[in-house]
Structure 1
């Protein structure tokens, strides 16, 4: 499992999320309406880069997700457009807890989920992101003010698998009330109930988020990169 988590996109799209993207050789790319993420082996070969270019199309942006402390050295013709250092955090010691105030979010909630993501910018949110897994939220006065959910599902379902927690966000007017922690606990509880390992990613520069997750019992497992690169023009 740890090997798959070093480059989670190929592991996710080569398994339980196969319908949300494509795999070619050791490269993988989510469909454009789902996520901007693509993946290569940590030590990628020229053939791996060529496969990712073929999956993405000429002149297209893709966010490469992989373990590392430094930006990738892209081949000739590629462009490194935005550098983003992150960390991957392991929640195998976090039991989680269902939250009676959290509601399950479904297709009817997607406009509200997109609006909250637009206000808070928790990370990439595209028209089909909500299809990737279970999402829960908290409403105030009928308005969705906080949410969290699942994104990449890595490895087998149940024991031996892992699920990534993502889209953790709270409306600015409702921050400081512990809503994010409650929702992460609720998502963790669902993942643990399936026998899987919870994982999440955070910006390496977001000390507040890392402190929150550490206080919950998550541990930093490895440095990660979320760098935006662009394929060679056609």
Structure 2
């Protein structure tokens, strides 16, 4: 998905958060380089990990051609962090308004640390089938069979069944994105999302990084939750996806 910043009075501390202007590219060049595929200056995550692709700030025809070749004919290009429009023969698939939120360093979550991690378990490769099942029911956004390789994923089980999860996705320098925050319909309203996000905040802060989140503008309930947990909006973004020619 591509991100286009719109005029805003929201928090924009460029000195400390410049890497967040290109979170996919920064992740693929750094912490997630082992999960990247490349051709020329174009880059994307490996199939099954994520559909995010990255191009430079001002890609020319050759870079777009390289990205199309890298992804393949008629494949999905999730241009999360590219502000440049692709060539006219790239088919638009979706446009989604959203925002990027960053955790205020030193904030105190709305639950004490001990309470926030009660009942939270780490999810590994053996949990992928139930993670995919939960995503299908809760629909938090894109999640694939290898997405868990991007970082730590945590969950909450009820009588052995996974009913909530959240994890780490993009990793630009100094930052970790919290993503896939979701709860099964029958388990909502119990504070599971807050407990999971709090647990991830603690883990991320412990390694001297700061959490950030991307959220759809229409998801006002999630935005309110994240604000309670110490997040503030850095900028508005527009997510876009395309089909390669």
The TM-score normalised by the length of structure 1 is 0.88
Q: Is the 8 A contact 1:6 1:67 kept in 2?
A: no
Q: Is the 8 A contact 1:61 1:228 kept in 2?
A: yes
Q: Aligned residue for 1:111?
A: 129
1:190-205 residue pairs with structure 2 within 5 A?
A: 190-205=203-218
Q: Is the 8 A contact 2:35 2:45 kept in 1?
A: yes
Distance 1:22 1:148 in 2: 26
Q: Aligned residue for 1:61?
A: 76
Give how far 1:67 is off.
7.1
For 1:29, what is the secondary structure of its paired residue? strand
For 1:154, what is the secondary structure of its paired residue? coil
Deviates more, 1:14-23 or 1:136-145: 14-23
Structure 2: unaligned runs, 5 residues or longer: 1-15
Distance 1:27 1:8 in 2: 15
Q: Is the 8 A contact 1:148 1:184 kept in 2?
A: yes
Q: Aligned residue for 2:13?
A: none
For 1:201, what is the secondary structure of its paired residue? strand
Q: Aligned residue for 1:20?
A: 35
Q: May I ask how many residue pairs the two structures share in their alignment?
A: 224
Give how far 1:177 is off.
1.2
Q: Aligned residue for 1:85?
A: 97
Q: Is the 8 A contact 2:108 2:229 kept in 1?
A: no
Distance 2:144 2:122 in 1: 19
Deviation sequence 1:80-129 (CA, Å, 0-9, x none)? 11111221110143455351221111122221111111111111111101
Distance 1:79 1:223 in 2: 24
Going from structure 1 to structure 2, the CA distance change for 1:17 and 1:8 (only over 3 Å counts) comes to: same
Deviates more, 1:97-106 or 1:36-45: 36-45
Q: Is the 8 A contact 1:66 1:224 kept in 2?
A: no
Going from structure 1 to structure 2, the CA distance change for 1:175 and 1:42 (only over 3 Å counts) comes to: farther
Q: Aligned residue for 1:158?
A: none
Distance 1:42 1:223 in 2: 18
For 1:77, what is the secondary structure of its paired residue? coil
Going from structure 1 to structure 2, the CA distance change for 1:47 and 1:223 (only over 3 Å counts) comes to: farther
Q: Aligned residue for 2:179?
A: 166
For 2:27, what is the secondary structure of its paired residue? helix
Distance 2:193 2:59 in 1: 36
Structure 1: unaligned runs, 5 residues or longer: 156-160
The TM-score normalised by the length of structure 2 is 0.85
Going from structure 1 to structure 2, the CA distance change for 1:21 and 1:67 (only over 3 Å counts) comes to: closer
Distance 1:48 1:213 in 2: 37
Distance 2:209 2:156 in 1: 24
CA RMSD, Structure 1 to Structure 2 (Å): 1.8
